[in-house]
Amino acid sequence: MKLLGEDSPVSKLQVKLEPGVNPSHLMNLFTYEKGYCFVYYLSQLCGDPQRFDDFLRAYVEKYKFTSVVAQDLLDSFLAFFPELKEQSVDCRAGLEFERWLNATGPPLAEPDLSQGSSLTRPVEALFQLWTAEPLEQAAASASAIDISKWRTFQTALFLDRLLDGSPLPQDVVMSLSKCYSSLLDSMNAEIRIRWLQIVVRNDYYPDLHRVRRFLESQMSRMYTIPLYEDLCTGALKSFALEVFYQTQGRLHPNLRRTIQQILSQGLGPGAEPGGAAADSEPGLLLGDEAPSSAISLRDVNVSA
């Protein structure tokens, strides 16, 4: 919410596509979390996890291979649970379905996640080990913890904590790389992007080849924008330019222009990475400014 502002239209679950609204800005992790809160709220209205699972299966079966809008979900929900429709749960004061979809700001209700503490405690304990002194002793204790057994979100949370603490001492980053780099490199993009952001924010050159390989294989804005932002914020802008020149032909034009705008920050007037030969569309006409500070995956497209 600090990035978006309380009244930002991007914080709505259902944003009208009208002049001035860029669809690329509407998919962000805030929206996913707010949407999760709404779906959780629907499940609590149902009160029976098995019946709600049955509803979800019926919904997917009915609409598979088609496009749907929010109202399709709500109509299906009320049709599946006629007793809830009779209770007018969609019109409860302060929790109206219409307000859930169209109001700006944070979700109207949030789930109780306290039971998750049993999963987050080991993550926090490992993070504390890596920030403790002396490093040799802490690293030995940390390396004995097998994070390959963790759930994906636990590993992501651990890396997010390291990201929040960056820049880290170089000896810590070196030990982290020795302990985890090969393992993380075999995991999915949600994990790898976080580790590579740690690499970039800490100017850890031995793992830059992993950053290059990732950007050469990923064409999604949610994975490319954070890395280019971090590369251009620090001392690795020339590296970012080099990778961009090599990959720009495979990027979607909208993504290519966004990265061009990020790369052009700090260049002289009229400078444009890639030039006219690289992109036949004139200039960097995105209608909004590129973000000026480093962002993480969970922020992407909120500010980018």
Domain regions of the chain by residue span = 9-102, 116-266
Instruction: Tell which wins on pLDDT, 197 or 133.
Output: 197
- With tokens 């649970």, the residue in question is 81
CATH class of the structural domain 116-266? mainly alpha
Task: Give the pLDDT band (50/70/90) at residue 120.
Answer: very high
Q: What pLDDT score was predicted for residue 266? A: 56
Task: Give the pLDDT band (50/70/90) at residue 191.
Answer: very high
For the cut 60, the answer to whether the pLDDT of residue 203 exceeds it is yes
For the cut 80, the answer to whether the pLDDT of residue 296 exceeds it is no
**Structural contact between residues 52 and 43, judged by C-beta atoms closer than 8 angstroms:** yes
Average pLDDT of the residues in 214-230 = 91
For the cut 60, the answer to whether the pLDDT of residue 102 exceeds it is yes
CA distance 278 to 274: 5
Share of the chain above pLDDT 70, in %: 86
- In Å, the largest CA–CA distance within the chain is 65
For the cut 60, the answer to whether the pLDDT of residue 267 exceeds it is no
DSSP assignment string, 154-199? HHHHHHHHHHHT-S--HHHHHHHHHHHHHHHHTS-HHHHHHHHHHH
Q: Which residues, 6 or more positions from 115, have their beta carbon under 8 angstroms from its beta carbon?
A: none
CA distance 274 to 299: 26
For the cut 90, the answer to whether the pLDDT of residue 172 exceeds it is yes
Q: What is the pTM of this model?
A: 0.70
Share of the chain above pLDDT 90, in %: 63
**DSSP letter (8 states) at residue 12:** S
Mean pLDDT of the chain: 85
Least confident range of 74-78, 130-134, 169-173, 236-240: 130-134
Q: What pLDDT score was predicted for residue 273? A: 59
Which CATH number is 9-102's, of 3.40.50.2000, 3.30.450.20, 3.30.70.1170, 1.10.390.10?
Answer: 1.10.390.10
CA distance 39 to 33: 10
Same fold, 9-102 and 116-266: no
Least confident range of 106-120, 124-138, 150-164, 263-277: 263-277
**Structural contact between residues 156 and 193, judged by C-beta atoms closer than 8 angstroms:** no
